[in-house]
Structure formats: structure tokens, C-alpha cells
Amino acid sequence: MTTVKNVNLFRNDTLIKNQDVEIHNGLISSIKTSDSNISEENFLVPGFIDLQIYGAGGRLFSAKPTVESLTIMEEDLLKKGTTGFLACMATNTPDVFNDCIKTAKEYRSSARNFLGLHLEGPFLNPKRLGAHVPSFVRKATLGEIKELLDFGDGVIKMMTIASECQDDDVIQYLLDNDVVVSLGHSNATFEEATKAYNKGVQTTTHLFNAMSPIHHREPGIPTAIFNHDKAMASIIVDGRHLDFEVVKFAKKLVKERLFLITDAVTACNNGPYQHIQDGDKFVMPDGTLSGSSLTMLQAVKNCISHCDIELQEALNMASLYPANLIGKAGYLGKIEINQRANMILLDNELNLITVFFNGESLSI
């Protein structure tokens, strides 16, 4: 049994100080007041869950879809406090998609923090592609979706689609087969987006980016999210994809339905997605914004420092809310008895001290 002594933590959004957290067989077995005299102001928080990340550790998964790439991504992300992630694949050729899916299936039996795949495309709206390659974009057929999910054998956990470009039976089939459907790279009207959410589309990909905007006569996708009582949305809080002031007002309206992603890529000079680092962001060779260099911890810090979001709520956006979306909140995203001991120890300035994964302390 391992004990993390004398830490501050949040339970039900309430800060509880000077707690000892005991870990047994990879699970949190006890939380109790510490008898230690140490007065350090360290925080023990849930491990981060990133549902949209393309690359880490210098590897862009779709550019080199190998077991080695997933291993490198896992190790790099664990050292940064991301204890669960979906590897994201942008719109590409069927061969690349198949290679990524095949590798993910091969890898999952030995996976640690890799939770599956997020397919961002190719079933998008050509009017809102951002950095996605137009020649790969198409409308889905039900037969194609059935074949894709059969080949995926459960490893495809999330898909970003433009619902206004797809038939209802395609979307319903995804939902019926436990794929989280996210509205994104979409030019849907307010009415079309609301219809999609009412039919079961659960979330939205990178709020405000690559979607119909708010206009006083055409309210667009963001207003549909603001008005809905269930629709969630991811957001990239790097100060590049969105101004922090926009994050502020989005949080006030979307509340607990808003969660963090990094949308992070890594430098790549081959294939259709050649990401070039430009300061603290990445761009395509033509200058199109193509991804972030964000970490989940920096996103949390940005929420607190720039967006008037309280610490416990920023942490929820990075852990509990994405865990809820993918159906993992029963054992991830919280520090509670019988939860998996995936946790991060931070100092009082929110610098990373230690990562615990399945109860094991990792060197960072």
C-alpha cells in the first residue's frame, strides 16, 4: 500500500486540506485527515484526460502509425500529467485510417493511458475545413460506417462529423454503437445544430474554431450550444485558437458542459499534414493554424490566470467532464475511494511534482 501524505484536494468541489490518500492495488482505498506536521501546500488532483491530441514526444501518430509512436506518446503524456487520452486522426486517406486503426487494435492490450481513437473527419463540411485536406473530405454512407466500426472493433471511441452533411441513419448508427459523436468542422445553422443535439449528438469539437459563427441574424453553432441543456463542447485555451475573453464568456454560458482539449500536434515535415512550429502554435506551410503546442496543465493554468475560472472548475474541465463524456466517470476523473489512482501532485504554484498512474509513482 502507498500513502500520499498531507495534501490538499477537492471533493465535491470543496477544498479539503491536510489529507492522507492511501492507494491499494491501483485504487484509492482511503482518504483521511493527516497526522503529519508537514505544512506544504501541495495539491493532489485527478489525472488529466485529453480527448483530442494528434502527437506528443515528437511523434505525430497519423504520420507514423506504429506501436512505437503510441508508446512514445503515452510516456510523454504521462510525464506531463495526462493519464488518459484519445489519439486523434485528421481527415486522410482510407489507407492511413486503416493503418492507424490496425495499430490501435494491436496496441490496446498493452496500453496504459491510451484510451482509443478520435476520428476528426473525413465526414466534414468543405466550407469549414481549417487545416484539413479538401480532397479527402466526403459524405459517409451507412455501409461505410458499418465497415469502419466493424474493422475498428471497439477502438474508435469518438468521431467529429458535420451532421448537416450526413444522413440521420449514419449518425444514429454511430450513437447506437457507443461512439461519441461530436459536431465539428461544420457550417450547420442554429436550427441544424440544435436538431443534431436533440437527436443525441453529445458534444462539439473545439468551440468557435472551424464552425458557423455567431451573427445577430444567423446565431450559428455556438448559440445552439449556449441554448442547449445537454450539448457539451471542447475548447482550446491556448490564447491562439481563441482570445481568452471569448473563453470567459463561453464558460459563463456553457458551464459544466465545457471541457478542455489540447488539439496538440508536433513538428512534421512529411505527409499531408506538415506542421511547422510558429512560436507557441503550429501552422501549415501556407500559414493556416493547424494545432497547438499546449499541455493540459498549461490549459488549466491559462483558465485560472486569464479566464477567471476557479482552480477546482479548471481541474474538472481537464478531468471529470471529459471522463463523463466518454463514460469513464465511474473510475476516472475524481479523487474518491475506489476510483483508479490516476493522480497528479502539484505545488502551490501548480507546478508538476509527481504523477501517479494506477497507483504507481512515475519519474518525471
Annotated catalytic sites, by residue?
A: 263
Which residue matches cell numbers 462529423?
A: 161
**Among the listed residues 165, 93, 172, 177, the one whose alpha carbon sits nearest the alpha carbon of residue 123:** 165
Classified as helix, coil or strand, 359 is coil
Phi, psi of 36, deg, nearest 5:
-75, 150
For 202: left if phi > 0, alpha if psi spans -120 to 50, otherwise beta; the answer is alpha
On whether the CB atoms of residues 308 and 252 are closer than 8 A, the answer is no
Task: Quote the cell numbers at residue 171.
Answer: 449518425
Q: Report which residue type is found at 261.
A: I
d(CA 343, CA 362): 11
d(CA 248, CA 67): 39
On whether the CB atoms of residues 122 and 138 are closer than 8 A, the answer is yes
What spatial distance separates the first Cα and last Cα of the chain, rounded to whole Å?
Answer: 21
Residue 363 CB-density burial (10 A; 0-12 exposed, 13-18 middle, 19+ buried): exposed
d(CA 130, CA 246): 19
DSSP state letters, 16-48: EEEEEEEEETTEEEEEEE---------EEEEPE
